[in-house]
Structure 1
Amino acid sequence: MARPNEEVEALLQEYADLLAISGGDAFKQRAYERAARAIGGYPQDVSKLDAKALKGIPGVGKSIADKIAEYLSTGHVAAIDETRSTVPPGVRELMTIPTLGPKRAMTLYRELDVASVDDLVTAVHEDRLGRLKGFGPKAADNILHGVELMRAAGGRILLGEALRIAEETVSGLVAATGVERCEYAGSVRRMKETIGDIDVLVAARDEDAEAIMRAFTELPGTAEIIVHGRKKTSVRTAKGLQIDLRVLPPVSWGAGLQYFTGSQPHNIRTRSIAVRKGLKLSEYGIFDTETGEQLHAGTEEEVYGRLDLPWIPPTLREDRGEVDAALRGELPDLVTQDDIRGDLHTHTDLTDGLATLEQMAEAAAARGYAYYAVTDHAPELRMQRMTSEKMLAQRDRVRALADRYGRRLRLLHGTELNIDPEGEVDWPADFLAGFDVCVASVHSHFGLDRAAQTRRLIRAAENPHVNIIGHPTTRKLGKRAGIDVDLDAFFAACARTGTAVEVNGHPERLDLRDEHILLARRHGVRFAIDSDAHAVSELDNLRFGVATAQRGWLTADEVINTWPLTRLRKFLRGPGRR
């Protein structure tokens, strides 16, 4: 069962989508999107708030608060039901295709009677899209690519949502009678960007297994029991996510956690090493092949130690060379959250954020950051209505606020610039020189060809005032594929110019992704791990950025926002940058 905040978030986002489909006011649509994000990230249960408290949530005005209250009391919102009835279900299915927007979905329904994804694929193959205005020569290829992305995603969910569910499940089980240890495993523990199902392990005596399984099936959120046994029980949540619980004897804990965490190729490598050492390694334990004796391996460290290997961090267990590196004693000392000294890409309510400058700065201080940058959008992203005057006024506020924090937190005034199709960015050089840090990102013209996309990114990296290229491929998981760009050429340019490349921690982005980080490292690129936070709660996105960086084998020294402020400032102003 979804939490009230999630239910309301989904409802408001649905209404925003319905407004887009039906051609409603664009500002109203964005207002509901903003309110949906605010509700989803709000720390308190909205079902416990009165009307005044609801209106105190950033982005929630009287009209939206009234709809929330109506939904919480009746389970329906009349205005949303009415709008929903005007949009055919098939159109909403079409909207799940990443490369197809709401208005084009409605056009396809009205003009070609396309009411499902299968109908759309048929229409493309029959070459019927060309007769429609707004569907150019590349439309068919883009749509088919979007359908592939949608189908590839299947029932997978984003890491952020999966991790929340996994942590709630573990939290709900640790208090159960007989539970000695409990941890999530599988792809969630490896922090993969999308998750198909969740594995949870418990160490307990056999006589306690039945009570533990019963406690598991009674956890909030369980919609269906798929399998119920003493050693394994599987349930499905209301959103269709499968959670598998396995109860292991304490003596098997280390082997079970290692087995159920590692990818299949990683586990094949470790089992092969075990065989060469006269051992058998499985989820049940590690055994002497000749005598059949089970060797003590209560922890993962003991399991790897039996194989003469150091403990391998879960985020590396993908068989990308980590076992060979461990054998050579060359595993990287991975960057951690504790290494991060500050966040260099965040937003406030001056543009599309949900919190004030003061609220974001206070949250950064509470996290113990040494420095913190606010980087609101620049004017070329016109929907944000930024002006030079507004940005200079914010700079004055940042400087005044900086005096309040002193050495406890150094506030940096920055901006997120827009990279246009030619690689130019907002504002002239003399204006850009006044910022402490400039992030430059692509926000439009995603359909340019490979050569054009590569040129625009390289030109932005060559701009002496651009310090970081934000979310470089622009992808949004399950919604938008990344732009087509020659990453080798782009990374080479960033290494040459001293421009950092961002690992964006927003769970919908995780951009750069792990494979791209591995490629960029070979060019000697520097990185920034940022939250891209638009609300106080989204500062926690940094954990996903760090996990993605670990999957890309990054060390702390390769990440500029692990550096002391003096070193960071030197990088931001250094040779080739100014």
Structure 2
Amino acid sequence: MARPNDAVGALLLEYADLLVMTGGQAFKARAYEKAAKAVSGHHADISTLDLKQLEEIPNVGKSTAAKIKEFIQTGEIADLEKMRKKLPSGLRTLMAIPGMGPQKAVTLHRELGISSIEELVAAIEAGKLEELKGFGPKTSEKILHGIELLRNDTGRVLINAAMDVAEEIIADLKKVPGTLRITYAGSLRRMKESIGDVDILAAAEDSSALMEKFAKTPLSEVIVKGPSKTSIRTARGFQVDLRVVPEKSWGAALMYFTGSKEHSVALRTKCVHKGLKLSEYGLYRVETDELLASDTEEAVYKQLGLPWIPPTLREDRGELDKPLPKLVEEKDLKGDLHTHTNLTDGVAPLEKMVEAARKRGYSYYAVTDHAKNLPMQRMTDEKMLAQREQVRALDAGKMTLLHGSELNIDPDGEVDWDHDFLSGFDITVASVHSHFTQSSKEMTRRLITAIENPYVNIIGHLTTRLIGRRQPIDADFDAVFEAAGATGTAIEINSFPDRLDVNDELILRAKRHNVKFSIDSDAHATGHLNVMRYGIGIAQRGWLTPDDVINTWSLTKLRKFVASKR
């Protein structure tokens, strides 16, 4: 059920990890990591490509293309299966711990014979890890925290994985005769950052054909099947529920199965005061059992004296009492201000990234490759200046190209270049890429120092979290937001599904300090430009309007925003 590009990307990443763990050459592992990123971000469905077309994907060579084709044809990669068998199964279990890399897992197994989480916990409690080079007290704390995260895993998946499955199933079920309406509901419709079960709602007068088709979804097993609800479990292990209702109940059912629970409870409380009752079948008057509304959400809300409430706001955060904002939408975005090319860790050349952005209809587009203080990116002053000339010379049609950089916020809050060099950029993003375990006081000072730099325009992925893999940094975010609001520094909403950073709760806090935001893709491949929909969803959950988001502004207004800080 996973999108083939994502499934193959995950396998190639695993192959890279296993290369490291079995003593393979580091450059080969790095090549497979790049290939994984390129395949995941490729715009076309790789299952539809022939061998030659696969080889044309950036960073995918003949050997990698052959492995991809093998997987598409057989469902596995023989070389990967062989490598899996070379390692004790416990090592792969250790690799599942957030923050545990392949080299650490190998070291623990080689030096201490650890091949299970239980053995690892016992070794930490006995102080054995501190005897190993590179494993200090902080490392042990981080590993224990990672084990806690793993054990508390609720089985939720990233929103893009859930969306891929939902849209694929919906597209298939739309073709079933008698399907009148169909969409996804639940937390996916509310654009939560991670999803438990995928809820799909359909309207039909006879549900049998829909249920039969749904039960035969490829690579899945049926959990329960009935006339009104059928549940399946996909090959990736998460549950998809299909509910079918009569068309006359569509609006009430869509409200009910969208939630949230808290929003629904607040609505029912409102109903009680009005002598009404609300269910998935409709809104009724209690005394007479008269049906007042059911066919559309708008009609149900209207009967309750409310405007239609966007799903992203249905969290009982005052949406029943406050005036509703005109929420920012994807169509409002005029550009993307955080993207990468293959000059650093992207996989597509500048020309390809620009062309993909131009096709999205943007008015402007910023190229922001990594700066020089991140050694693995091998950036130099000369390379950055050469790229600037390339950007200036490139014809992007009606779209204006902006040359920028994603600067590194060093432990003391300083960034890569001095003011003279920074003044040559059209716009900059500054992000924390290291030293994630600084104290709250140190991290707060670090971020504020960067924010006060007159040449830092946007703070990228503020909390540095990777959902399910890395916890957010510890900082006084209200103090950070106060500084950002005072200096005219935007806070990024990073749209990449494993980041979605900052989240909706921090957005709501930041708004109190008059902070402006930038919704960016952080794209490393052309296909990644499409993740903006997830950043928009988080922005809506934070009640943001177009005026709150700097890349919905005209280029003239954006340039004034940048200039006002310098």
Per the alignment, residue 357 of structure 2 pairs with 364
| TM-score normalised by L of structure 1 | 0.94
Give per-residue Cα distances to partners, 1:140-193, cap 9 Å, x unaligned: 322222122223333111001111111111111112121111110000001111
Measure the CA separation in 2 of the matches of 1:378 and 1:506: 20
TM-score, scaled relative to structure 2: 0.96
Residues 202-241 of structure 1 aligned to structure 2 (within 5 Å): 202-205=202-205, 208-221=206-219, 223-241=220-238
Q: Look up the equivalent residue of 1:323 and give its one-letter code.
A: L
Letter in 1 for 2:348: A
1 CA distance for matches of 2:80 and 2:215? 34
Equivalent of residue 302 in structure 1, options 266, 283, 299:
299
Report the CA distance shift for 1:69/1:246 in structure 2 as closer, same or farther (over 3 A).
closer
CA distance in 1, matches of 2:485, 2:178: 54
Query: Does the aligned pair in 1 maintain the 2:2–2:165 contact within 8 Å?
Result: no
SS at 2:175 equivalent? coil
One-letter identity of the residue aligned with 1:335: V
Q: CA shift at 1:466, angstroms?
A: 0.6
| Rounded Cα–Cα distance in structure 1 between residues aligned with 2:71 and 2:204 | 43
Q: Which residue of 2 aligns with 1:10?
A: 10
Partners of 2:429 and 2:456 within 8 A in 1: yes
Distance 1:497 1:288 in 2: 54
Match for 1:361: what amino acid? V
Matched AA of 1:54: L
Describe how 1:284-303 pairs up with structure 2 within 5 A. Answer: 284-303=281-300
Q: Which sits farther off after the overlay, 65-74 or 128-137?
A: 65-74
8 Å CA contact 1:263–1:317 kept in 2: the answer is yes
**Equivalent pair of 1:287/1:293 in contact (CA under 8 Å):** yes
Correspondence for 2:333 = 340
Question: Counterparts of 1:78 and 1:334 in 2: how far apart (Å)?
Answer: 49
Checking the alignment, whether the CA contact within 8 Å between 2:340 and 2:369 is kept in structure 1 is: yes
Deviation at 1:544, TM superposition (A): 0.7
Correspondence for 1:461: 451
Percent same amino acid among aligned pairs?
Answer: 59
The alignment status of 1:200 with 2:218, answered yes or no, reads no
Q: Which residue of 2 aligns with 1:563?
A: 553
SS of 2:473 mapped into structure 1 = coil
How far apart in 2 are the matches of 1:137 and 1:13? 29
C-alpha distance in 1, partners of 2:560/2:303? 46
Residue 293 of structure 1, CA deviation = 2.0
Q: Which residue number in structure 1 is paired with residue 271 of structure 2?
A: 274
Q: Distance in 1 between matches of 2:521 and 2:45?
A: 24
Write the letter of the residue equivalent to 1:354: V
Which digits, 9 at most, give the CA deviation of each residue in 1:493-551, with x for residues without a partner? 11121111100000010000111111111111111000101111111111111111111
Amino acid in the other structure paired with 1:475: R
Partner of 2:506: 516
- Which of 304, 316, 319 is the equivalent residue of 2:316? 319
CA deviation after TM superposition for structure 1 residue 48, in Å: 4.2
Q: Does 1:147 align with 2:135?
A: no
Read off the aligned partner of 2:533 and give its amino acid letter: R
For residues 98-177 of structure 1, the aligned pairs below 5 Å read: 98-177=98-177
**Post-superposition CA distance 1:270-315 (Å, at most 9, x none):** 0111111111101121111111122232111111111111111111
* Cα distance in 2 for residues equivalent to 1:49 and 1:227: 36
Q: In the alignment, which residue of structure 2 is the partner of 1:66?
A: 66
Deviation at 1:265, TM superposition (A): 1.0
Deviation at 1:439, TM superposition (A): 0.5
Amino acid at match of 1:294: L
Name the SS for the 2:320 alignment partner.
Answer: helix
Secondary structure at the aligned position of 2:471 is classed as: coil
**Distance verdict in 2 for CA 1:72–1:285, change over 3 Å:** closer
Aligned counterparts of 2:48 and 2:308: Cα–Cα separation in 1: 45
- Structure 2 CA distance for partners of 1:2 and 1:567, relative to 1, 3 Å: closer
Per-residue CA deviation, residues 370-411 of structure 1 (Å, 9 max, x unaligned), is 111010111112222111111111111111114x52xx2111
**1:549 aligned partner, one-letter code:** A
Q: Give the unaligned 5+ runs of structure 1.
A: none
Paired with 2:295 and 2:552, the residues of 1 have a C-alpha distance of: 34
Aligned residue pairs, count? 566
Q: 1:121 to 1:304 in 2, by over 3 A?
A: farther
Taking the aligned partners of 1:367 and 1:46, their CA distance within structure 2 comes to: 21
Aligned equivalent of 2:403 = 413
Partner of 1:425, secondary structure, is coil
Structure 2 residue aligned with 1:494:
484
The verdict on how the C-alpha distance between 1:77 and 1:292 changes in structure 2, with shifts beyond 3 A counting, is closer
Distance 1:441 1:118, change over 3 A: same
* Residue 83 of structure 1: how far off its partner (Å): 3.0
Q: Helix, strand or coil: the match of 1:138?
A: helix
Deviation at 1:51, TM superposition (A): 3.1
Whole-Å separation in 2 of the counterparts to 1:73 and 1:555 = 47
Match of 2:538 among 540, 548, 553: 548
Deviation at 1:268, TM superposition (A): 0.3
| Aligned-CA RMSD value | 1.7
Aligned to 1:435: 425
1:250 aligns with 2:247: yes
Say whether the 8 Å CA contact 2:271–2:278 is kept in structure 1.
yes
Q: Partner of 1:375 in structure 2?
A: 368
* Structure 1 Cα separation of the partners of residues 176 and 122 of structure 2: 53
